[in-house]
Amino acid sequence: MQILVTHSDQYRIGAVGNAEACEPIDMLTSLGANYQASADGLFDLLDRISKEGLADISTKLSHRVDANENIYELIKGDLRLFYFKPEEGFLIICTSALVKKSQTVDPKHVKKAIRLKHEYLEAVKQNTLIVIEENENGD
C-alpha cells in the first residue's frame, strides 16, 4: 500500500495513493466550478488540521460515520472526505471523497474506508507500507 503525504506541518496528513493516482485528492481537484469553493474549503481544512490538529474541529466539519471501525468524514458543503486515524505516523489518512447526494452516509464509501484502513494496518504490520513524501512528488 502507498500513502501520499498531502500535508506536513505540525501533523502529517496522508491519502491512499501516490503522486500519479490519489483517488481522494484527484476527485477533489477534478470537480466542476460549482463545487470549487467546497473543494478549496476542504483543502483549507486539511491545511488547518495539519497545523492545529483535530481538537478544535467542530462536529459540523468532521464526525464519525462508523463507530466500530472509527471511520470519519470531513464536511464542506456537499463534499465528503472519508478518513481514519492511524495510531502513529499520521494524524489522519484520507481514503475517498464524494459529492453527497442524500441525507444518509454512503455505505459504499464507509466500507471502502474500512477496507483501506485494514489494508493500511496490514501493510504497517508486514512492513510493506510505502510513504511518499511531499518533496518526492514535486511539491
> What are the pLDDT digits (tens) for 83-126?
999 988 899 999 999 998 877 787 888 999 999 999 999 999 99
Supply the CATH number for residue 85's domain: 3.30.2310.20
Q: Coil, helix or strand for 12?
A: strand
The residues facing 132 across adjacent strands are: 4
- Residue 102, class by beta-carbon neighbours within 10 Å (0-12 exposed, 13-18 middle, 19+ buried)? exposed
pLDDT tens across 14-55, in order? Answer: 999 998 999 999 999 999 899 999 999 999 999 999 999 999
pTM of the model: 0.91
Per-residue confidence (pLDDT) for residue 90, from 0 to 100 = 95
Per-residue confidence (pLDDT) for residue 137, from 0 to 100 = 41
Residue 84 carries which DSSP code?
E
pLDDT tens across 56-88, in order? Answer: 999 999 999 999 999 999 999 999 999 999 988
Per-residue confidence (pLDDT) for residue 102, from 0 to 100 = 74
Residue by residue, DSSP assigns 101-131 as -SSS--HHHHHHHHHHHHHHHHHHHHT--EE
pLDDT tens across 37-47, in order? Answer: 999 999 999 99
Domain count, the chain: 1
Residue 12 has pLDDT above 90, yes or no: yes
Range of the domain at 63: 2-137
